[in-house]
Amino acid sequence: MPEGPEVETVRRSLVDVVVGASVQDVWQSSLPLRMAKPQASLQAFVGSTVVSLERKGKLLWLPCRDNTRSDVRGLLVRLGMTGQLRLHAPTDDVAKHTHVRIVLQPRIGTVQELRYVDPRRFGDVAGYHDAATLKAQVEALGPDGLTLSANEVLAAAAKLRTTTRALKEALLDQRWLAGVGNIYACEALFRARLSPWRRGVSLSPKEAVCLVECCRDALVHGLEHNGTSFSDYVDARGATGGALAHLWVFQRETLPCKQCQQPIERRDQAGRSTFFCRRCQHARPTSR
Ligand SMILES: [Zn+2]
């Protein structure tokens, strides 16, 4: 499932072609995206120009300017579990599970198609028609985990110490930090040497700050390797990310811990797999 580093890698691989391009045509499949919600028509974007390509957490958006109207509106993209945003030549074969095709005339070069492919259809490509709608979606998210400021680290740490939830579950809450999913939550907890089952309220101020910084560091490390590919994730050109080989615990069940050689374990936690090292990650507070 694409998390902050994967979505940022996709954004970077698209930006040169997409920004400044005009939308020449849009095709949508008849199948509903984002679970059972019917797809809204994107035909209104034909004739508009993509102004920029933005990201916060796992949310991507493309503000567009309509040449006949002066307002800026745009497209919101969520990659969900298995979504891919790919650039193609219009003559390329259309892959199975392609749900949206946007024909773009870039500022420089030939016409390209931005295609949204999503076998499980948990993601979405949706239009927004006013700034307030976009703002509501963006502001529902916590600060972006990849670009945390010193003040945002302190605020996120303080908030973490008020929750009775298990740390792993708290880290996945996009209202707290945007962009941390299962991969980087497991990695951050290992880096901070904390048990995924510790409660937020059990953390000392120092432990909480350390964990937030470890979230940011795990995300930045993932981005440096162009994201983690272990199932569907690829960038807009179809390239896989290289972070998997450099992770501490994620997808390393039974392999020796890179710190202490104890086998990494995997356990279900709130419906998701948690990977951890029993020896390195403390179940009890170490200092208060
Ligand atoms: Zn270990």
208-222 pLDDT, tens per residue? 999 999 999 999 999
Residue 35: what pLDDT?
64
pLDDT: is 34 or 251 the higher one? 251
pLDDT at 54 over 70: yes
Distance in Å, CA 220 to ligand 1 centroid: 22
* Residue 192 token pair: 């901070």
Least confident of 84-88, 127-131, 258-262: 127-131
CA of 256 to the centre of ligand 1 (A): 8
Maximum C-alpha span of the chain: 64
Report the separation in Å between the CA atom of 257 and the middle of ligand 1, taken as the mean of its atom positions.
5
* Residue 100 Cα to ligand 1 middle (Å): 44
For the chain, percent of residues with pLDDT exceeding 90: 84
What confidence score (pLDDT) does residue 71 get? Answer: 66
**Averaged pLDDT for residues 122-151:** 94
Total count of residues recorded for the chain: 288
Task: Give the distance (Å) from ligand 1 centre to CA of residue 259.
Answer: 5
* pLDDT, position 36: 61
- Ligand 1 geometric centre to CA of 177 (Å): 26
Residue 284 above 60 pLDDT? yes
- pLDDT > 70 in the chain, percent: 96
pLDDT in tens, 250-274: 999 999 999 999 999 999 999 999 9
Burial of 108 (0-12, 13-18, 19+ CB in 10 A): exposed
Strands 54-56 and 272-276: unpaired
- Residues 86-98 have a mean pLDDT of 96
Distance, CA of 21 to CA of 101 (rounded, Å): 14
Res 288: pLDDT: 40
What is the pLDDT at residue 287?
A: 46
Q: Are 24 and 105 in contact (CB under 8 A)?
A: yes
Rounded distance from Cα 95 to ligand 1 centre (Å): 42
**16: confidence class by pLDDT, cuts 50, 70, 90:** very high
In whole angstroms, give the CA distance from residue 227 to residue 239: 10
Is the pLDDT assigned to residue 43 strictly greater than 50?
yes
What tokens appear for 242 in the block? Answer: 């290289």
Ligand 1 centre to CA of 114 (Å) is: 43
> Which pLDDT band, with edges at 50, 70 and 90, does 286 fall under?
low
Q: What is the pLDDT of residues 163-212, one digit of tens each?
A: 999 999 999 999 999 999 999 999 999 999 999 999 999 999 999 999 99
Look at 158-162, 236-240, 283-287 and tell me which has the smallest mean pLDDT: 283-287
The model's pTM: 0.94
Q: What is the DSSP letter of 264?
A: B
The reported pLDDT for the residue numbered 70 is 62
Quote the ligand 1 centre to 190 CA distance (angstroms): 8
| Cα(43)–Cα(73) distance, integer angstroms | 13
Query: Which residues are marked as active site?
Result: 2-3, 58, 272
CB under 8 Å to 60, separation ≥6 — which residues?
A: 7, 10, 11, 53, 54, 76, 77, 78, 79, 85
Query: Residue 283 — pLDDT band, cuts 50, 70, 90?
Result: confident
SS3 label, residue 190: helix
Residue 5 pLDDT: 97
